Structure 1
Amino acid sequence: MGWYKAGKIAVTNGSKAITGNGTDFVTNVKPGFAFLGPDFQLYEIDTVVSATSATLATAYRGVTAAAADYGIFQTQGIIADLSAQVAALINNYGNIAQQFPDALNAISAAQNSAGAAQATAGAKYGKGNILGTVGQTGGAPTGAIIERGSNANGEYVRFADGTQMCTKLHLAVGDTAAFQSLPLAAAFVGNTVGVSLSFETGPNVGAAVDWYAFAATVSAHYTGGVAYLLYRGASMPVNGYVHVLAVGRWF
């Protein structure tokens, strides 16, 4: 704030009163401001009474004057008071202010955690790995959602929940006297497999499917399979195509 010197003032020797004309002490002057009188001496403003009236902290020592020029300016005392008030505000509300960085840090940490969780979920279930190699640890899926493959023993589909399906088109010979081994493309676990056979041409529909009988005699080199018996009428072709569908679990 610069000097305030609007209007004119009147002062009396030995008096603390300042009377203004065309002044606005209420808006522009505060207790503690410095007053430069017509005698070119500095005094301290004690109180502001009205827009045209103020008092000094000590009596005016100069010659009585009317319609005189003057000057009023802010002093360091006001700045010190303001500093004290600011210090009080910091003391009263500093703890609250301190909580804002903590809150921002917590928000940032939550965002990072959410981003990591989303990345982890994306790594497990993103469109880039819906198809791939399935896996599991302790019954929890660790790989892709669906795995599809094939080999000399047919085709298979594995799902992340443990379900597995094997299919095969097999050229069979009718009138088998004993169960015939038919390996499949992928291994099942335990007694979890259900098998169905259907015939394209050839043998009569008199097939028997016995997974358990076959599994009991399976050798280590087998990946899994079924055993079957075929019967045919005298006029039926000897050979026929058998469609095999096995459904069970891979873990």
Structure 2
Amino acid sequence: MSDVMTYSKRTASGLEEALRTVLLDADNKVPAEALRIVGAISDGAIIEQGSNANGDWVRYANGTQICTGSVTISFVSTDSYVASTATFPAVFISPPVVVSGTYQGAGNGSASDAAPPNATSCLICVSPTRGITFGSDSTREYTYIAIGKWK
């Protein structure tokens, strides 16, 4: 049996059903017509989101896609620059705009930048912000966000 929500309105002759909607179908799943998360599809509703080993993504009805992820970068104290490829969790139709994060810890900081991306990946480039070398041999995680179009 389905779970149904009913909204009623008061009229001169008593209560009348104004709206009846199915919450769960016979298989205890939300019906497809009830899955719009934000507004009407033409107004930019989220129509897909997911995650995989490369990160998370959200796709909007207007074609916008946002991907977030991270890369782990290892370096030694004598490195002045290191880079690692970040593969997006979902493919864009053209290169997105990518912004990467920074790291600050124990007085040793580093800045990262995303080299020109393509539709599937970008290069996260890291350099120290204090002095001319990294503070110590280390492995750190750098996050990024990529915004572009999926359709």
What TM-score, normalized by structure 1, do the two folds share?
A: 0.36
For the Cα contact (< 8 Å) 1:209–1:227, is it kept in 2? yes
1:148-227 matches, within 5 Å, as 148-174=49-75, 175=79, 179-191=83-95, 193-201=96-104, 204-212=109-117, 215=118, 224-227=120-123
Q: How does 1:1-251 map to 2 (within 5 A)?
A: 128-131=34-37, 145-174=46-75, 175=79, 179-191=83-95, 193-201=96-104, 204-212=109-117, 215=118, 224-232=120-128, 233-236=133-136, 238-251=138-151
Of structures 1 and 2, the larger Rg is shown by: 1
Asked whether the 8 Å contact 1:179–1:229 carries over to 2, the reply is: yes
C-alpha deviation, 1:148, in angstroms: 0.8
Residues 180 and 227 of structure 1 are in contact (CA less than 8 Å); yes or no, is this contact kept in structure 2? yes
What percent identity do the matched residue pairs reach?
A: 25
Cα displacement (A) at 1:146 = 2.5
Distance 1:199 1:236 in 2: 16
| Letter matched to residue 225 of structure 1 | S
RMSD: 3.0
Which amino acid in 2 is paired with 1:206? Answer: A
Instruction: Output the CA distance in 2 between the equivalents of 1:195 and 1:176.
Output: 22
Q: Quick one: structure 1 residues 234 and 147, their matched pair in 2 at CA, closer, same or farther if it must change by over 3 Å? A: closer
Which runs of no fewer than 5 residues in structure 2 stay unpaired?
1-31
Matches of 2:149 and 2:53, distance apart in 1: 21
> Is the alpha carbon distance of 1:181 and 1:236 closer, same or farther for their aligned partners in structure 2, counting shifts above 3 Å?
same
Cα distance change on mapping 1:200 and 1:127 into 2, 3 Å: farther
**Taking structure 1 as reference, are residues 163 and 206 closer, same or farther at Cα in structure 2, changes over 3 Å only?**
same
Q: Return the structure number with greater relative CO, CA threshold 8 A, min gap 6.
A: 2
Classify 1:236/1:181 alpha carbon distance in 2 versus 1 (closer, same or farther; 3 Å). Answer: same
Q: Letter of the aligned partner of 2:36 in structure 1?
A: I
Write out per-residue CA displacement over residues 176-220 of structure 1, whole angstroms, 9 at most, x where no aligned residue. 8564211010011123x11111134567333231134xx3xxxxx
Runs of 4+ in 1 over 6 A off after TM superposition: none
Aligned residue type for 1:195: V
Aligned residues: 106
How far 1:127 sits from its partner (Å)?
5.9
Indicate the SS of the match to 2:127.
Answer: coil
Superposed displacement of residue 173, structure 1? 1.8
